[in-house]
């Protein structure tokens, strides 16, 4: 699967929290989002000004383009992550571990890099 296939798959299954997503598809999706937000942060910087506070110390207006894209990709990203957890034999509820600072993200990263488990689809 290639980058554009993963993006199509992510948006076509944007609210599908059942099933599985294999490791390459998940990581192509992550790469696509990384590239998208890198470019959109540059667009926001060009439109709204610097990322740093202004000379008077007041914050800059924000990053509206990135915020809109973040909202548009939130549900597909959650669904992709849940399906990836299903693929390694974990329940989608493990995604809540991401709220635990530092350790939670490391555990999720460990789950995401595991190979597919051919016969382990957890019950919802």
Q: Which residue has the higher pLDDT, 56 or 14?
A: 14
Query: What is the per-residue pLDDT for 122?
Result: 54
Query: What is the per-residue pLDDT for 69?
Result: 95
Domain extent for 22: 3-113
Q: Is residue 107 part of a domain?
A: yes
Tell me the C-alpha distance between 41 and 16, whole Å: 28
Q: Is residue 59 part of a domain?
A: yes
Q: Is residue 119 part of a domain?
A: no
Q: Is residue 121 part of a domain?
A: no
Which of 88, 48, 94 lies closest to 68 in space, CA to CA? 48
How many domains, in total, are found in the chain? 1
Average pLDDT of the residues in 85-90? 92
> Which pTM value belongs to this model?
0.84
- Which residues, 6 or more positions from 108, have their beta carbon under 8 angstroms from its beta carbon? 81, 94, 95, 97, 98
């Amino acid at each position: 699967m290639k980058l554009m296939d993963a993006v199509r798959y992510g948006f076509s299954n944007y609210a599908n929290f059942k099933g599985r997503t294999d490791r390459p598809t998940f990581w192509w999706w992550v790469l696509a989002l990384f590239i998208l937000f890198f470019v959109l942060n540059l667009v926001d910087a060009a439109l709204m000004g610097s990322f740093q506070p202004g000379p008077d110390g007041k914050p800059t207006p924000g990053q509206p383009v990135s915020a809109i894209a973040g909202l548009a990709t939130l549900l597909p990203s959650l669904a992709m992550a849940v399906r990836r957890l299903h693929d390694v034999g974990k329940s989608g509820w493990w995604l809540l571990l991401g709220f635990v600072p530092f350790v939670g993200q490391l555990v999720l990263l460990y789950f995401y890099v595991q190979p597919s488990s051919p016969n382990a689809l957890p019950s919802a």
